[in-house]
Amino acid sequence: MDRRNFLRTASSFALLATGATTGVSRVLAKAPSFSLTGNQSDENTSNTDDTMEYRKLGGLDVSAIGLGCLPMVGYYGGKYDKKDMIALIRRAYDKGVTFFDTAEVYGPYTSEEWVGEALAPFRDKVKIGTKFGFGVEEKQPTAINSRPDHIRRAVEGSLKRLRTDHIDLLYQHRVDPAVPMEDVAGTVKDLMQEGKVLHWGLSEASARSIRRAHTVCPLSAVQSEYAIWWREPETKIFPMLEEFGIGFVPYCPLGRAFLTGIINENSRFYEGDRRWNLPQFTPRALKHNMPLIALVRKWAERKGVTPAQFALIWMLSRKSWIAPIPGTTNPAHLDELLGAGTVRLSAWEMEEFDREYARIDLMGHRADPFTESQIDK
């Protein structure tokens, strides 16, 4: 399928039933109010946002914008202080975020430990998503492993690190071709019956795997990379998610910072930064893809927001069952991202944006060859 036909197909999915897809029914609720130290805050706390849109991922209620906690462990380079990252997580909670994403492989273990400590004072007010599926305990963190016994050990470890007796949303991090999906779903179903897991999902799964898993144990969410410059899920899995009532949790919704406008054609990335070997971030691709940044900037100005906010607004406007999990290590950036919660695009604006987008030729795949080899097709 060529690019323009893809856009026509994607737009038709996005614009069907305007009220369902873009006229998002916003549920505004009082944000749970705690200070950054974990103590209950006064009503007049100056930096507390009193409202947050909530959405459903299957049967799971979450804030429309969650917080991805992978960058905190140096995924894009740098080393971050535990105290600062715990304060950042609590700041997100103060501002109405109730959905936090982590995984045992992040660190490994470090992200779960920090999330668990940060959210312990208000554990019953938030939803934590974590993941199993890599060989962390075998010291093979890049090897896929979803054997039933491994899943159980991974869950017990996550429960301990997260300081909780249940996981709100448990994902299979990558589909394991060596283990039948029915065995994976059956194991998670048992864990749900034991009360250790409340909801479950898949990450980077094909429509075929989603169907097989959902048949055994209904899914609440599917996680995948998705952003203005990577829209494949719209045609590959959105129809099935809509059919089954499964929520969608996009990671890297800002295109690994490309869509924020802080990256330009002269930006360079080196080993230690996840982007250093990604095809989208080669010097040639960066230069080629700058027209997309110009388009995002134009629309951001039109809506009176920043480019980063527009990238989230675009996503939140497409479907009412999408809840992105942008990541950051910077309190100011966090505040900026959460500012995207009150602006939406109309169906006609999305159609207009898609027409302009279709005229832009993009270069570069989203993943390096090894990562791509582990993505379910």
Upper half-sphere CA count for residue 230 (Cβ side, 13 Å): 19
Maximal CA-CA distance, the chain: 55
Cα distance between residue 235 and residue 224, in whole Å: 13
Give the start-to-end residue ranges of the domains of the chain.
3-373
Residue 308 has pLDDT above 80, yes or no: yes
Phi, psi of 179 (to 5 degrees): -125, 120
Q: Do 271 and 345 touch, CB atoms closer than 8 A? A: no
pLDDT at 243: 97
Q: Tell me the pLDDT of the chain averaged across its residues.
A: 89
Fold classification of 3-373 is TIM Barrel (3.20.20)
Which residues have a catalytic role annotated?
106
Using the 8-state DSSP alphabet, how is residue 71 labeled? Answer: G
Predicted local confidence at residue 9, as pLDDT = 46
Measured from the Cβ of residue 76, the count of other Cβ atoms closer than 10 Å reads: 16
pLDDT band at 51 (very low <50, low <70, confident <90, very high): low
Q: Which tens digits make up the pLDDT trace of 203-220? A: 999 999 999 999 999 999
Question: What tens digit of pLDDT does each residue of 75-109 get?
Answer: 999 999 999 999 999 999 999 999 999 999 999 99
Using a pLDDT cut of 70, give the percent of the chain over it: 86
Question: What single-letter DSSP state applies at residue 224?
Answer: E
At 260, is the pLDDT very low, low, confident or very high (cuts 50, 70, 90)? very high
What would the pLDDT profile of 312-334 be if each residue is shown by its tens digit? 999 999 999 999 999 999 999 99
Alpha-carbon separation of residue 85 from 11, 79, 167, 331, 361 (angstroms)? 38, 11, 21, 9, 38
Stated pTM of the model: 0.88
pLDDT surpassing 60 at residue 366: yes
Nearest to 207 by CA among 244, 169, 250, 173: 244
The answer to whether 202 and 222 have CB atoms below 8 angstroms apart is yes
> Where is pLDDT greater, at 350 or 42?
350
**CA 372/CA 377 separation, integer angstroms:** 10
